[in-house]
Structure 1
């Protein structure tokens, strides 16, 4: 049984769950949707991998920025009517917390994507405070990324 976070941003995708999964669960694709960000993986997108997303004005040109380092805890693609579930733990020097992406089949050519971020700043300030400060920014980032990903899925769907 998969529980879907109550604070997840949810979007319908006009493609089957497998196609949506391949698009949104592979974090390397996220650099196309998240401005000023580059993403690298230390191997294939799978449980146990480490992902680093670096954001900053010149991050895409290789310059340093804010590093969001995550481990992939779970990476189970959708199978039949079962949803795909990817969970991540943020282990960086600055950003800590968890994220999840769940892709639920909604028919033969549609799916729903649930993306949740529970992130806070490492350090002396209370987790509850820094999480509340980051939440609006991260919510906006997730909404924007899913908007862009959904547009990409629509373009892919038209070419089938």
Structure 2
């Protein structure tokens, strides 16, 4: 595992009241994301690790198995935090509609705290210019990430109180 040499400028950053390993277990387990992202179900072809494929399907009845917008991603990197080293997960979006990259970085911030940085750089496949579709999606995805991290942090707080 190497050091993280750069972090996305547009990452949403939140402090978590739990150690980095606990925060990693919460936010990097992609199956948890369906609890935080409305109208979305998540499936993995195998446990999260480099090379795995993740599919998040969003739509009004997606959680009941109906079709929706599929966000298909490959896991490029999946390294949990170790000691003072951050945990890093990176994904490439390879679906028919959504393209781009996402990352989740969990940085230790003390024995019982951490910071989670989540970034989405997404655009639509197709005839429209990439810069245009990135600009249109950015506010929506930023709101989704902020909401998901709020929900995840609330779960971490509940876990911390129950410990």
TM-score class, shorter-chain normalisation, is over 0.9
Deviation, 1:159, is 0.8
Is 1:130 the equivalent of 2:133?
yes
TM-superposition CA deviations, 1:53-100 (whole Å, max 9, x none)? 000000000000000000000000000000000000000000000000
Match of 1:50 in 2: 53
- What is the Cα deviation at residue 135 of structure 1? 0.2
Give the match's secondary structure for 1:96. Answer: strand
> Equivalent residue for 1:17?
20
The RMSD of aligned alpha carbons is 0.4
Match 1:41 to one of 44, 58, 63: 44
Structure 1 consecutive aligned stretches of length 4 or more whose deviation exceeds 2 Å: none
Give the match's secondary structure for 2:47: coil
How do 1:1-160 and structure 2 match up within 5 A? Answer: 1-2=3-4, 3-160=6-163
User: What SS class does the counterpart of residue 47 from structure 1 fall into?
Assistant: coil
- Residue 99 of structure 2: SS of its match in structure 1? strand
- 1:26 Cα deviation after fit: 1.2
Between the aligned partners of 1:95 and 1:54, the Cα distance in structure 2 is 11
CA distance in 1, matches of 2:112, 2:127: 47
Residue ranges of structure 2 left out of the alignment (5+ in a row): none
How many residues align? The count is 160
Deviations 1:32-61 (A, max 9, x none): 000000000000011100000000000000
Distance across 1 between alignment mates of 2:58 and 2:108: 32
Q: Which runs of 5+ in 1 are unaligned?
A: none
Instruction: Give the Cα–Cα distance (whole angstroms) in 1 for the partners of residues 25 and 102 of structure 2.
Output: 17
